[in-house]
Amino acid sequence: MTDAAQLKSIKLVGRLDTARVGEIETGFYAEVGFIKDKSDIAIIDLSDVSFLSSLGIRLLVTAGKTFSQRQLRFGVVASKSPDVMEALDISGITGLFRFFDSEEEARAGF
């Protein structure tokens, strides 16, 4: 990571079920919208997410699409929950996005 680069992290917590995604998605997409400087590194932190529904997966896919259209560097901090990681793995996201164990690791990785 270069000195000019700024790591901008969006942290998601708890159960990302249908109801919760409904509550947070507007705020989440607004935060995604603020990260637009090409020197920025976008991180979505899932470390404290305990459940991931289909809508939660779609949230990540849409964010990833936005970052890639803006040609930003983008990564995801993995969840501590094995079930969440299993859902992400099965969906295919883990093979398409860069995953890190922590923000520090992400900072070092870019």
Partner 1 sequence: MEIFLDIFAGLGLFFVGVKLIGANLKQLTGKWFRGLMSAATQSSLRSSMLGLLSGALTQSSNAITFISISMVTAGLVEVAGVVPMVIWANVGTSLLVLVAAVDINLAVLFLLGVTGVAYYFDLDNKPHFRHGLGAVLGLSLLFMGLELIKHGSVPLRSVEGVADFLIFTASSYSLAFLIGVVLTMVAQSSATVTIIAVTMINVGLLTFDQTIAIVIGASLGSGLSIAVLTTNLKGIGRQIAWVQIAVKVVGVAIFLPVFLLETAVGLPGIKALVTVFTLHLASQVALVYLLLQITSAVITMLLCKPVMAFIERHSPPTDEELLSQPHYLYDEALEDAPSALKLVEREQARAFGYLPSLLDGVRADAALTMSAQALHVAGRSLIEQCDTFLAEIADQNEARDMLSEVFNLQKRNEILSDLFTALDDYVRTVSHIGSRSEDDKFVRLIFALGESLHAILDLGKDAFQMRDGDDLATLLDFTTDRSAQMDGIRRRVMSVGDISSGDHGVLYATTTLFERILWLTRRYGELTVEMTSAEAATA
Shortest gap between Cβ of 37 and partner 1 (angstroms)?
A: 21
The residue among 27 and 92 lying less far from partner 1, judged by its C-beta, is 92
Please say which residue, 6 or 18, places its beta carbon nearer to partner 1: 18
Q: Say how far apart CA 86 and CA 92 lie, in whole Å.
A: 10
Is 78 among the residues that bind partner 1 (CB under 8 A)? no
d(Cα 6, Cα 21) in Å, to the nearest integer? 27
Closest to partner 1 by CB, 9 vs 53, is 53
* Pairing verdict, β 40-52 and 98-100: unpaired
Q: Which of 83, 101, 104, 105 binds partner 1 (CB under 8 A)?
A: 83
- Rounded Cα distance between 22 and 56, Å, is 10
